Amino acid sequence: MAYKILILGASYGSLLGTKMAMAGHDVDLVCREATAALINSEGTEVRIKLKGEEDHRSIFSKGLAGKVGAVTPENADPNAYDMIGLAMQEPQYSTPVLKELMGRVAASGKPCLSIMNMPPLPYLKRIPQLKDADLTAAFADPEVWDGFNPDLVTLCSPDPQAFRPPEEKANVLHVGLPTNFKAARFPDARHNAILDTLEADIAGVTIEGKDVPVKLKAFDSLFVPLAKWSMLLTGNYRCITEGAPRAIKDAVHSDPEMSADVYAYVVKLAESLGADAADMVPFEKYANAAQNLLKPSSAARAIAAGATQIERVDRLVQQISKSAGMSHPEVEATVATVDKQLERNRAKG
């Protein structure tokens, strides 16, 4: 069965959208008017390396088994789709036009699959230990999530690393680390049937008989996507310094002992919420992957470019730590550094 998927976000969202379209499903990406016109005219291009190959392949949306289109927030009708994907940076949803769309998404009653680094508040409410926790201070506009039923929201760990090359058009995405999207299942079997179909169809796609990286994997555990938190706190947010941003590789490997300690602490925090050790990714595996992450994280690049808001998973981890009676000095220092740099940008603005 072919599904229709609406994905909010045409940058990172085009990666999962392209994989879905390769598998025969139709996808519409929500984006600005100029980007929507470009995608509807020329399609999208995702550059990815196949296993064993040295060069990236370009996968163009035009000619795929499914269609990739684009629509502006005002013209998006959530009721016309089987599933909604959330692929924007969390602060973006607080802009009026997107906040209004999110209200319509919530009212539609459609299952929502988030591929944000920042877990949506309704998803966090599915974790018994966090059901009544006040975590709103970590969100740009927590009211965005007020109308959502937690049973209709799940999280997909956005492990693949991808970026828009600044010299290219807005419909081009370059995949640097082609790992998998790992999704926690929904409570409802009907919604999991959609995930299962997407997973199987994406797994079956080949190019010239070769497997195509970046799969969608569904897990029964609610906590599998939380494995990303230790990576973000060890690498991504520690790219942010009081000076120039540093590469993820340098953030992780300039002080391996501290990195391992931060990583272990965030894993312990996830386990205190109910995660199993098997849900987590070993530090050694992450540290090895980080050797190839030679650019600063998107959060660090955004702050360097003058951003006054970014996704605050660092602050979320800090808040959850406090609720659990835990803390780590490096996590506290990281949050303080991010706060300081954002405040500096606001002062300049």
Question: 191: which residues sit within 8 A by CB, 6+ positions away?
Answer: 83, 111, 152
| CA 25 and chain centroid, separation | 21
Helices 13-22 and 189-203 cross at an angle (nearest 10°) of 80
Q: What residues does CATH 3.40.50.720 cover in the chain?
A: 4-219
Q: What's the one-letter identity of residue 236?
A: N
The pLDDT value given to residue 349? 78
Query: pLDDT averaged over consecutive 10-residue blocks of the chain (349 residues)?
Result: 96 96 98 97 96 94 96 98 97 97 98 96 97 94 97 94 90 92 97 98 96 96 96 97 96 98 98 95 95 92 96 98 95 98 94
Q: Is the pTM of this model over 0.85?
A: yes
Q: Which residues pair with 5 in a beta bridge?
A: 27, 83
The pLDDT value given to residue 161? 85
**Inter-residue contact 270 to 227 (CB < 8 Å):** yes
CATH of domain 4-219: 3.40.50.720
Residue 103 φ/ψ, nearest 5 degrees: -60, -40
DSSP per position, 185-220: PPSSHHHHHHHHHHHHHHHT-EETTEE-S--EEEES
CA 331, CA 326: separation in Å to the nearest integer?
11
The pLDDT value given to residue 177? 84
The superfamily in CATH containing domain 224-348 is N-(1-d-carboxylethyl)-l-norvaline Dehydrogenase; domain 2 (1.10.1040.10)
Q: What residues does CATH 1.10.1040.10 cover in the chain?
A: 224-348
In sequence order, what E strands does the chain have? Answer: 4-8, 26-30, 45-48, 57-60, 68-71, 83-86, 112-114, 153-158, 161-163, 172-177, 181-184, 206-207, 210-211, 216-219
The pLDDT value given to residue 158? 87
